[in-house]
Structure 1
Amino acid sequence: MGAPLEHITVYTAAHIHTMDQGRPDASAVAVSNGRIVSVGSIESIEPWLRRYPHSIDDRYSDKVLMPGFIDPHTHLRLSGTYMGLEYVGPIESAAPDGLRKGLPTRDAVLNQLRALAAEHSNPDVPITAWGYDPASQSGHLDRDMLDQVSDTVPIWVIAYAPHIVYVNSPMLELIGVDDDSVGHGIGRYPDGRLNGWFVETEATARATRPVADMIYGPDSGRAAIDRMGAVAKAAGVTTTADLVWGMADGFEPEWEDHASAMSEGTLPLRMFMIPFEPKLVREFGDDMLDFLASKTQQGDDRLNTHGVKYVNDGSYPSMTLVMNEPGYLDEDTAHTGEVPWENMVERMLPFWKAGVQIHSHANGDRTLDMTLDTLEALQRIHPRFDHRFTVEHYCLSSPSQARRLAALGGQASVNIYFVHFRAQLHADHGFGPDRSEATARLGSLERARVPFALHSDFNLVVTPLSPLLAAWCAVNRIGADGETVLAPGEKISVDSALRAITIDAAYILNRDDRLGSIEVGKHADFTVLNDDPYQVNPNDLRDIEVHDTVLAGESTN
């Protein structure tokens, strides 16, 4: 039984889209104790109003209400810490001291690093920079290029999609590697020399140890959450999930940063912490499931654990994902994740048997094949219903893979932003025109009846955080040139796109019983819009302004 109803607040609106297909439209919603009491009109909810003290709140009477937007895959804390570093990315980016301009080319980046090295007063302290994008900035950096910038000052540059760290020779010495070193993801030139690349989590963690105190300094995580929480709220997000909990500063510090931000009102969201499996295994071993159970007990409706995350290949923008034939246009820069593919079934099986939802990162279509093989093997060993095994990103795929995912009972959380922001770029950089045009095949998923949601991966890829922009990308599939429609058969309807940022996103996180639609008994989380996404021209979806969000029945403004 819930708390007794002492007072009901009724929010009125010009239109309420409930995302409940049986009762899709309303003009009033009654809330109490953070939950929805009734949905309909002032007249239809009158039986409740006769029985309990109530007030009518008309502040949104000329607005449109939707369920609070859900982005099921972000990295608010981790990405926010990078914003304190020197910025060398291609697009304008927010920073603690205001907006920073982008650098259009690799030469511009190298010149910026030269200027920083010239002004650097202590050669023992590395220069740390963030945001490099090899596809849009004329190719990868490497050790020899960075040695030409400085062969005395250590230089450490992490890509915008932080699957690659680039360093120079002095930084290699600080990291403690040489030509005889071995390890997954340590890059080399064709002659065997170290090329200054550290690719994927095991290698990037190794490269980051000497600069960890600079990047993850005291209070940096909490400051990052405060900054990024404000960005998410402005975009209308009321629920999200951190998909690499524990990877940066550890499980407890990262949990406490989120808890304190919520208690002090700077993170007006619900947050689900999804642990990074390699870190969980290293830190807790056989006790990993007990640790997750204890944190679930500690958590609540605002902050809690959820599932487990595997990273199985590289990045779409960094061009390190793993593809099937014919592979990359030029040099093959693919990398797998930290867990060897041949060990994947063994590593996932304890979580699978325990009923823990698995989130499996797969950007490339070859990685997707491996992921589907793994899911099939898990089902054969220990059959399960409603497991909600989720493929994360789902960038490069085929219609046959969508059908196979459906047959195995899986689902997808898809980064649709790449269709607009990256696909045309990668037609000639990395992936070729066919795969690039068909990035994020939502139409194929829908035809195969695979549940899917839209996510941003914010801010670890060169795209913004905006669920309405994600919906616009899904509905229109317009390339970066503003004209070309990419793979028109992969478009989806406005209704499907809006479901993918509300009720279907809640389903992906296994929270559709309490989030994602405006239904009696669910959390009273709403996104308040200035225009109606069902009424505007689909080309104008991304231009709709978010007026406010409501969390647990209270305005966050």
Structure 2
Amino acid sequence: MKPILILLSLILSNTSCNNDDNKTTSIVQSDQKVYYNAKIYTVNTSQKWAEAMIIEGKNITFIGSDIEAKNIANKNAAYINLEGAVVLPGIHDVHMHPLEASSENFLFILNEEETNVENYTSTIQNALSVNPDAEWLLGWGHSFYALLDAERSPLAILDDISTTRPILIMEQTSHSFWANSKALELAGIHENTPNPVGGIYMKEEDGSLNGILIDNAGNELLDMVLSPTQKTIENDYQGFKNYGLVELRKNGITSVCDARTYWKRDHHLIWKRLEEEGNLTVRANLGLWAYPSENDASQIATLQSLYSNDPNSFLKINQIKLYSDGIIHQTTSAMEEDYLVNFFKEPTNNGLSYFNKNRIADYINQLETTGFDLHIHAIGNRGIRETLDAIEQSGTARGRHRITHLEFVNESDLARFAQLNVTADCQVAGDFTNPEHWSENDELIGSSNTQKVVPIKSLIQANARLTLSSDWDVSNLNPFVGMQHAVTRVPENISLEEAIKAYTINGAYVMRQEDKVGSLEVGKLADFIVLNQDIFEIEPNAIGQTRVDLTVLNGEIIYER
């Protein structure tokens, strides 16, 4: 569908689809729009398919056939001919990091595919020279294994670039950081500094620091660096407004969950500013970050004070994000058994716990009554089991909690998701989640644990509610890449209808807005997208090439390709 056809349809199709010869076409004259000649997949089980949809203001007032739409539309209705295009409800991406993905506080990007860490130096040196006034040189994108495979200390490599200006680089998954000596000095980190909860300061064989900060050890340093200033806030705001929100609209995403709202960095205030200034073009639920090293009583009180659930607002602060564990490739996911390699020479070698079972249960107990739902990161089978245990211990029917990532799930835990009403939030947009990559973790946890990585089919067969999300910018933002992978990842593949449901009505449920959006039904708000190809008819391996031609939010066009 060419973009110009929409405008022409508004001007011309009104006459061809209505027998009132005296009528003139004008969008201004009518608040009623008739989208017709479409293939509308509603995600409504009682009426899966339709040809036409009538929108009045921000509401859907009719779903059905072209003929019925023509018969009930008012005489001044504007007609939009979609020329047989597929229409879906607006996409819900309930796990992403849009401010972090858009932030202008990071000044350079490294290539995660680079295996020789020495080859990073020219990019870092260039960033240092072109940013002479930057108090901290922040970068992003390297591979953890590139640092491990380096022939000399990663700390020495950065110190060769500068020992007078602090350099801090976030690994491409955000679960580790690479720092030079000046950065460690300013943070007060030395070889005798105890590891923080959920984190590790990596060391050389002689006990000296090697510049790699694992999980929360790096998070805490970044929190110090990005303590809010007028500049850091403006960098986040402008990046999200001018890049992040544009990307969301372009990809048909009308509802999101910010999966890590750093309230100490004033991220929640940036979201509020966007809404107050009329620049927020997405429905958003913020997941306030639970800092692992904070005193629980004072942190819970702060989180409760930030709760906001205005039904008339696009923006709601009604979720809490916390981590149970780390990630598999750094051996920090919480596993039932020890890893087969030992990177850290710590007393235990079965992963980290940011929040243990009892702390998670306590947060659920105190925050669920406020109205918060918890969004809990758990990748390893032990982390997942302990999280389910915590929800079983403290959760009530009021909660709509979810566990995200779910890479290594015990068979015995699959049924517990439905039993406890816990949503299984999974990401399969990244190539690393495809079956051909599962064996890459054999050397870490053994092949017996890598047979069903991210078991979305098994979860659905166990009657779990499944959502699919991007984890942007760890993985591709395009939801159709995620759908393609979901339907092709044999043996853990699902149907296209199940994948669409996971990106729409199931996402609406975890955002507590399934009565308003997530499916196309009379009485719901008009959030929908128009696609450039029929994903129901093409080969599954071509679904990821789908593009969004039109994104409509609250009845208004917010993107046109």
Please state which band the TM-score falls in when normalised by the shorter chain. 0.7 to 0.9
Q: Structure 1 363/248 Cα, relative in aligned 2: closer, same or farther at 3 Å?
A: farther
Q: Partners in 1 of 2:357 and 2:89 — Cα distance?
A: 39
After TM superposition, the structure 1 = structure 2 runs for residues 515-526 of structure 1, keeping only pairs within 5 Å, are 515-526=517-528
Q: Structure 1 255/217 Cα, relative in aligned 2: closer, same or farther at 3 Å?
A: same
Q: Partners in 2 of 1:20 and 1:137 — Cα distance?
A: 50
After TM superposition, the structure 1 = structure 2 runs for residues 157-176 of structure 1, keeping only pairs within 5 Å, are 157-176=169-188
Following TM superposition, by how much is the alpha carbon of 1:113 offset from its aligned partner in structure 2, in angstroms? 3.0
Aligned to 1:277: 290
After TM superposition, the structure 1 = structure 2 runs for residues 78-477 of structure 1, keeping only pairs within 5 Å, are 78-81=100-103, 84-90=106-112, 103=114, 105-114=116-125, 116=127, 119=129, 125-135=135-145, 139=149, 142-184=154-196, 185-189=199-203, 190-201=205-216, 203-210=218-225, 212=227, 217-226=232-241, 227-247=243-263, 249-250=265-266, 252-260=268-276, 263-264=278-279, 267-278=280-291, 285-286=300-301, 288-292=303-307, 295-297=308-310, 300-316=312-328, 320-329=332-341, 331=343, 336-379=352-395, 384-385=396-397, 387-418=399-430, 420=432, 424=436, 427-428=439-440, 430-436=444-450, 438-459=452-473, 461=474, 463-477=475-489
Q: Structure 1 122/85 Cα, relative in aligned 2: closer, same or farther at 3 Å?
A: closer
Equivalent residues of 1:68, 1:236 under 8 A apart: yes
Instruction: Please tell me whether Structure 1 or Structure 2 has the larger radius of gyration of its CA atoms.
Output: 2
Equivalent residues of 1:529, 1:545 under 8 A apart: yes
Following TM superposition, by how much is the alpha carbon of 1:175 offset from its aligned partner in structure 2, in angstroms? 1.2
Equivalent residues of 1:312, 1:337 under 8 A apart: yes
Equivalent residues of 2:373, 2:399 under 8 A apart: yes
Q: What SS does the corresponding residue of 2:424 show, helix, strand or coil?
A: strand
1:458-497 per-residue CA deviation (whole Å, 9 max, x = no partner) reads 11x1x210111101111102xxxxxxxxxx2311111111
> Which residue identity lines up with residue 183 of structure 2 in the other structure?
M
Equivalent residues of 1:242, 1:273 under 8 A apart: yes
Q: What SS does the corresponding residue of 1:490 show, helix, strand or coil?
A: coil
Q: Structure 1 131/13 Cα, relative in aligned 2: closer, same or farther at 3 Å?
A: farther
Q: What SS does the corresponding residue of 1:531 show, helix, strand or coil?
A: coil
Equivalent residues of 1:9, 1:55 under 8 A apart: yes
1:307-327 per-residue CA deviation (whole Å, 9 max, x = no partner) reads 222112123565532222252
Equivalent residues of 2:381, 2:410 under 8 A apart: yes
1:321-344 per-residue CA deviation (whole Å, 9 max, x = no partner) reads 222225255536875354344422
Equivalent residues of 2:319, 2:375 under 8 A apart: yes
Q: Partners in 1 of 2:319 and 2:421 — Cα distance?
A: 17
Q: Structure 1 202/276 Cα, relative in aligned 2: closer, same or farther at 3 Å?
A: farther
After TM superposition, the structure 1 = structure 2 runs for residues 492-503 of structure 1, keeping only pairs within 5 Å, are 492-503=494-505
Aligned to 2:8: none
Q: Which moved more, 1:516-525 or 1:320-329?
A: 320-329
Q: What stretches of structure 1 of length at least 5 have no aligned partner?
A: 92-102, 478-487
Equivalent residues of 1:402, 1:444 under 8 A apart: yes
> Which residue identity lines up with residue 456 of structure 1 in the other structure?
S
Q: Which moved more, 1:323-332 or 1:174-183?
A: 323-332
Q: What SS does the corresponding residue of 2:158 show, helix, strand or coil?
A: helix
Following TM superposition, by how much is the alpha carbon of 1:107 offset from its aligned partner in structure 2, in angstroms? 3.1
Q: Structure 1 228/432 Cα, relative in aligned 2: closer, same or farther at 3 Å?
A: farther
Q: Partners in 1 of 2:210 and 2:230 — Cα distance?
A: 23
Equivalent residues of 1:18, 1:67 under 8 A apart: yes
Q: CA RMSD in A?
A: 3.1
Following TM superposition, by how much is the alpha carbon of 1:499 offset from its aligned partner in structure 2, in angstroms? 1.1
Equivalent residues of 2:336, 2:350 under 8 A apart: no
Following TM superposition, by how much is the alpha carbon of 1:252 offset from its aligned partner in structure 2, in angstroms? 4.6
Q: Partners in 2 of 1:510 and 1:410 — Cα distance?
A: 14
Following TM superposition, by how much is the alpha carbon of 1:457 offset from its aligned partner in structure 2, in angstroms? 0.9
Q: Partners in 2 of 1:108 and 1:64 — Cα distance?
A: 46
Q: What SS does the corresponding residue of 1:39 show, helix, strand or coil?
A: strand
Q: Partners in 2 of 1:228 and 1:206 — Cα distance?
A: 25
Aligned to 2:64: 40
Q: Structure 1 418/321 Cα, relative in aligned 2: closer, same or farther at 3 Å?
A: farther
TM-score by length of 1: 0.84
Equivalent residues of 2:135, 2:166 under 8 A apart: yes
1:20-78 per-residue CA deviation (whole Å, 9 max, x = no partner) reads 111001011111120111100233346743xx554142242332111011111111112
Q: What SS does the corresponding residue of 2:494 show, helix, strand or coil?
A: coil
Identity %: 22
Q: Structure 1 377/535 Cα, relative in aligned 2: closer, same or farther at 3 Å?
A: same
Number of matched pairs? 517
- Whether 1:489 aligns to 2:491 is yes
TM-score by length of 2: 0.83
1:500-552 per-residue CA deviation (whole Å, 9 max, x = no partner) reads 11112212322211111100111101111011211112121111221111111
Aligned to 1:547: 549
